[in-house]
Each structure stands twice: as structure tokens, then as C-alpha cells.
Amino acid sequence: MMRLSVWLLFSCFGLSFVNTSPYDDVFESYDGHQILSVHSNDKAKRETLRDALAENCDVLKFPHATARPIDVLCPPESLHRVKRHLDSNSYKYDVKVEDVGVKIRTEESYGTRKKRASVLDMTWTDFQRYETIKNWMEKIAAENPSFTQLIDMGRSVENRVLYALKIGTSPLGNETRAVWIDGGIHAREWISPTTATFVLNELVRAFKEQSSDCKEKGVLSVDWYVAPLINPDGYEYTHTNQRYWRKNRSTNSGSTCRGVDLNRNWNVVGYGAGATSDQPCSDVFKGPSKESEPETKAIGKTILEHKDNIRVYLTLHSYGAYWLSAWGYTRTLPKDHEKQITLATRGADAIKCVNPSRSYTIGSAGAIFYIAGGASDDWAKATAEIPYSFTVELPGDDFVISKTQIIPIGEEMWAAVKEMAAEAARHPLGNDPAI
């Protein structure tokens, strides 16, 4: 009875995506935590259910499509209460991960990494640490001065350097079109930085070889900006303390909870809309103000410097295999929606050629995913006026993903970005806001 009333009390607040416990800065083993996949076909009930679940668990995925389950990560102390609530309201659920602690220790040697040297050679057989990626980018730039340039975009909250690498020879001078790719804005989405570095490595190879392959010729005709790890502090924290950390590592005044969701912090129309929070303890805390975070500022400034050339903006997230277009802050579609979907489909088709069993769900974020404002995709389209803007939710069914998936998913995305390059190369220059 007591527990039930606590549940009801919490549910009444209706805050979404609230952190389950203030375990900032401590090591979380996730022993006894479970991931539940909760099913509900009722659109109206789904949102209430999400908000209620968020009071006790971390909502990992909340797809709009009623056929897809809501995934939640629940600590042991909430499990009984949550399951009872689901049972008594006749919600169907599966225990997707029986013990998250066991899973991440067996699949990723989580928790032992602190003791391991963090600077190792770059490979795609494992998830690399920040230092390895940083050193590797510096090495590429030093070894290939004729077609690469290391861009120091600024510093993270914890003073880590934020790098982008420009690859290309600007064959049309100021008129050379470009493609932007970033990764790792959400700390726990480890497949994102690996995919970005995989693509970066392929780009370097293609430019080195001056490939005569038809598709790779398209690659050489544009410039590329790749920033594979734009939230390094959060990412490192997922290796050392909390595998499911999402935000950056800002301290928040008046709160002991740390972090701002960098994908809610952009200075753009719709900031604060939908699945966003003004509570520092929330996983989707939008920050004290638009672009309050050094990471958002630094990346935004860099993109704006090249916005006249960048024709395609691509930000890599996980999980679930969705190719999302703008807008994310509203269900309303931009006037060039069809054009966005045509290119997204070309990307997804190219992926299918590499892996016929891979199916991406394509659509605008607000219409097929959930409404969430202040994200980088909306910013790239509305503020930077880049013609094409996509969030790609890479495949997988958890943020924890087998390292054996790194190369296959990298190969798939390499095929897709070649399509992006072909379109960028033929697209007119000039602002294209299409609001």
C-alpha cells in the first residue's frame, strides 16, 4: 500500500526521463539491474506509461511506433514495484536483460577498464577510449598533410580537446560541397564513435589511394568534416563509472546532479519542446540556457564556419536502426520533407546492399520517434540552414552492443555516406532553410 502510494505520488509529477538515483561520481556495477521491454499499443496510454516508468527507471528507448516496445533500465530496488504496476495495469513486458551487470562485464569487461592503459593502437575490434581516438586523429593529420586538416574546435567541460578532422582537397575551391559527420554526442551510444572513426578511416584510405572506383570518385569530389567523439567527458565516464550515462559532465548550480543532454541544448527553434526537462537530474536536461555547454558552442561554431559548403549534416546515435530527418521539435513536416526522405532512402538502400537483412525505419523524428527540441539535427537545418540534416540511430537493441558489430555497422555506414557525398556534390550552394 505504501509502495503503491509512492508510485502514484511520483507518477503525478509526470516528469519524463528522470534519473533513477543520484549516483553521480560513484561506480555503478548495474548488478541486479534489469532492462524491461514494455509493450503498449495504445498511443495515449504510452506517454503516461513512459512518464510513470521514468520515475523509477531510466527510459532507454521510447519509439513512437506502438508496435515497438518501450525499453527501461530499472534498479533492483524499483523492480518489484514497477513489475507490480505493469501487471496490475495489464501491460505486457519482457525481461530483455536479466542482469545488466553480468551483461556488461561479460560483453565489455566493464569496470576493469579503469586499470587498463587507455592509450592503445586504433583498431575496430574493440571500443576505443578518448585518448586513443585523439592520438589517432593527430597521427592521421601529421601523416597526410596534403588532404587532411585537424580542427581544434574547443574544449569540453573537463578540458578535453574537441577535434574534427577535415578530409578533402577542395577541388572546386570555395564552391566545394562538404559532408559533416559527428558521433558520440550521447555518451553511452558506443557504436556511434566507432562508426564515425570507421568511416573516417575509409575516407583516409580512399583519398590516399585516389581510388578510381566510381562511387569513391564521388567521395573525392567533396570535403568531409568528421568529429567522431563530441562528448568525450561523458564517454570516458561510461567507461569508468556509469555505462548508461548519457549527458556531458557539467556541474549544475543548485543541484548535486551533473550533466546536460547535449542533444537538447542547441540554440534552435523548438528548444525545450517535448521530451526535454529543466531538471538537472533528468537524463534529458536541456541546460540552463540554449547553447550553455562548451561542447555545443564549439561544435556549432565550427559548423557555422563551413555551413555554406556543408550540404549534408549527419549525426550518429543508437539504437534501433532509424534514419531520422527534421523536424524533431514538432510533428509538422518541413516543406522539403520528400526531398529529405528520398536521400534517407538512398542511404538505407545502400546499407541494404551491404547487408540485405538490415532494415532502417525512415521518417521525421517528431513524427515517427518522439518530439524533442533543442537537438543538433534541427539546429543544422533551421539555424545553420544546411539542406539535408539527419540523425541516424544505428542498429542494435541496447546501448551495450557486441564489439563484433563494429566493423559490419561501419561497412554499412560507409556505403550510406557515399550516397550522401554524391548528393552533396550535385546540390546547389546557398542557404536552404526550408522551414
Calpha distance 120→139 (Å, rounded) = 13
Query: Quick check: 82 and 36 in contact, CB under 8 A?
Result: yes
Q: Which three cell numbers stand for residue 99?
A: 542482469
Whether 47 sits among the annotated catalytic residues: the reply is no
Binding-site size for ligand 0X9 (CB under 6 A) equals 14
> Does residue 377 touch ligand 0X9 according to CB under 6 A?
yes
Binding residues for ligand 0X9 restricted to 258-287, rule: CB under 6 A: 263
Among 49, 153, 372, 384, binds ligand 0X9 (CB under 6 A): 372
Q: Which of 243, 317 has the CB closer to ligand 0X9?
A: 317
Among 36, 365, 409, 425, binds ligand 0X9 (CB under 6 A): 365
Q: What share of the chain is helix, strand, coil (3-state, %, to 5)?
A: 40, 20, 45
Contact string (CB under 6 A) for ligand 0X9, positions 321-350, x = contact: ---x---x----------------------
> Does residue 46 touch Zn ion according to CB under 5 A?
no
Q: Which of 398, 423 has the CB closer to Zn ion?
A: 398
Region from 227-235, 334-342, 367-375, 406-414 binding ligand 0X9, contact rule CB under 6 A: 367-375
Q: Which of 46, 166 has the CB closer to ligand 0X9?
A: 46
CB of 147 to Zn ion, least distance (A): 30
Which residue, 239, 228, 235, is CA-closest to 259? 235
Region from 1-9, 129-137, 150-158, 364-372 binding ligand 0X9, contact rule CB under 6 A: 364-372
Question: What type of residue is 68?
Answer: R
Binding residues for Zn ion restricted to 186-205, rule: CB under 5 A: 186
CB burial string 212-232: b at 16+ within 10 A, e below: eeeebbbbbbbbbbbbbbbbb
Q: Which of 40, 263 has the CB closer to Zn ion?
A: 263
Q: Which residues touch 176 (CB under 8 Å, ≥6 apart)?
A: 168, 170, 221, 222, 223, 309
Question: What type of residue is 284?
Answer: V
> Which residue is listed with cell 527501461?
72
CB of 60 to ligand 0X9, least distance (A): 8
Q: Give me the half-sphere count of Cα atoms (radius 13 Å) on the Cβ side of residue 14.
A: 6
Residue closest to ligand 0X9, measured at CB:
328
Pairing of strands 361-364, 58-61: unpaired
Give Cα separations from 40 to 13, 63, 396, 424 (angstroms): 21, 11, 21, 40
Quick check: helix, strand or coil at residue 181?
A: strand
Binding residues for ligand 0X9 restricted to 391-410, rule: CB under 6 A: 391, 393
- Among 393, 412, 419, 423, the active-site one is 393
Region from 45-53, 71-79, 179-187, 226-234 binding Zn ion, contact rule CB under 5 A: 179-187
CB of 393 to Zn ion, least distance (A): 7
Calpha distance 331→22 (Å, rounded) = 33
Cis peptide before 322 (omega within 30 of 0): no
Q: Which three cell numbers stand for residue 295?
A: 561542447
> Does residue 188 touch ligand 0X9 according to CB under 6 A?
no
**Residues interacting with Zn ion, by CB under 5 A?**
186, 317
**Residues interacting with ligand 0X9, by CB under 6 A?**
186, 189, 263, 317, 324, 328, 365, 369, 372, 375, 377-378, 391, 393
- Residue numbers annotated as active site: 393
